[in-house]
């Protein structure tokens, strides 16, 4: 019997790459998306688009119930959906703050809340949270995104304890910058922060282009898909792993240096 996988945020970027890759490995992949029309040209019988709005618990419950009725199980949940808000803390609005956490954090919690009972009943399951190396490292202008990914790391750590007695594994993948549509479609900018008269204009003009360039020239999303497969196949896979050049550079460096020395290195690297 094929393993059943549910991926959120499956219509683009790392999510779409994972859907395509895993569907070739004899998995049945449910591709969670707000608009199933994003998959209208898909030919693979192993890819099943499913309507899923992470902001709406009822939408999530409906999707999980559909999969349960079809297969009686979900073997792997991949929490991939997310976007990045680029804003200073001074400029960010209440709506922007909530929207960032509503998808990146509360969305993860909502889907876990609905999937865990099914995994617990089956005494088996794997939850993989697609986090970011920025879940361990702060950068200016990305405070809201950073903090949302720090929260995902906390969710991962705590769930590992909470679910261990039910044979449910929980992992996080911390990618660096990857060549997906993230910079073009999944970065949301605050107008005040990017106003030419902003007191932060020097920081924006020096840092923002570097970040966008690093994303657009980053690693292939296939590397994340391959790591997902490794986690599924290896019961002893570590709690979290980095993938991509920036993640592999900065995460070990942060462990080795004091907070002050690490901060100095980051400022030098990004000229901030």
What is the mean predicted confidence (pLDDT) over 121-125?
A: 97
How far apart, in Å, do the first and last CA atoms of the chain sit?
53
pLDDT, one tens digit per residue, over 188-229 is: 999 999 999 999 999 999 998 888 888 777 677 889 999 999
Class of domain 4-270: alpha beta
Q: What is the pLDDT of residues 126-176, one digit of tens each?
A: 999 999 999 999 999 999 999 999 999 999 999 999 999 999 999 999 998
Give the mean pLDDT of the chain.
93
Task: At 168, list the tokens.
Answer: 């449910």
What is the predicted pLDDT for the residue at 147?
98
Q: For residues 100 and 85, is the Cβ–Cβ distance under 8 A? A: yes
Given a cut of 90, whether residue 2 has pLDDT beyond it is no
Helix, strand, coil percent values for the chain (each to nearest 5)? 50, 15, 30
- pLDDT value of residue 183: 47
Known catalytic residues? 11, 131, 145, 149
Tens digits of residue pLDDT in 75-103: 999 999 999 999 999 999 999 999 999 99
Please state the domain extents for the chain: 4-270
In 10 A of CB 185, how many CB atoms? 11
What is the pLDDT, as a whole number, of residue 215? 78
């Amino acid at each position: 019997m094929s393993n059943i996988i549910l991926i959120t945020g499956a219509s683009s970027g790392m999510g779409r790459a994972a859907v395509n890759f895993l569907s070739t490995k004899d998995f049945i992949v449910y591709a969670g998306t707000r608009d199933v029309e994003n998959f209208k040209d898909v030919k693979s019988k192993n890819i099943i688009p499913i309507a899923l709005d992470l902001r709406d618990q009822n939408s999530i419950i409906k999707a999980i119930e559909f999969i349960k009725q079809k297969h009686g199980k979900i073997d792997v949940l991949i929490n991939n959906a997310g976007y990045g808000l680029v804003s200073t803390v001074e400029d960010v609005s209440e709506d922007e703050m909530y929207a960032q956490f509503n998808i990146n954090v509360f969305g993860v919690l909502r889907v876990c809340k609905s999937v865990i009972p099914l995994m617990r009943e089956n005494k088996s399951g794997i939850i993989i949270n697609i986090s970011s190396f920025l879940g361990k490292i702060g950068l200016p202008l990305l405070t809201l995104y950073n903090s949302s990914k720090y929260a995902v790391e906390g969710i991962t750590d705590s769930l590992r304890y909470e679910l261990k007695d039910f044979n449910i594994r929980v992992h996080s993948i911390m990618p660096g910058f990857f060549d997906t549509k993230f910079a073009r479609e999944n970065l949301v900018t605050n107008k005040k922060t990017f106003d030419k008269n902003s007191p932060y204009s020097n920081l924006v003009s020096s840092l923002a282009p570097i970040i966008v360039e690093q994303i657009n020239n980053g690693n292939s999303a296939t590397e994340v898909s391959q790591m997902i497969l490794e986690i599924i196949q290896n019961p002893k896979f570590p709690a979290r792993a980095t993938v991509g050049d920036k993640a592999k550079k900065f995460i070990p460096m942060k462990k080795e240096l004091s907070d002050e020395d690490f901060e100095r290195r980051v400022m030098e690297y990004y000229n901030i």
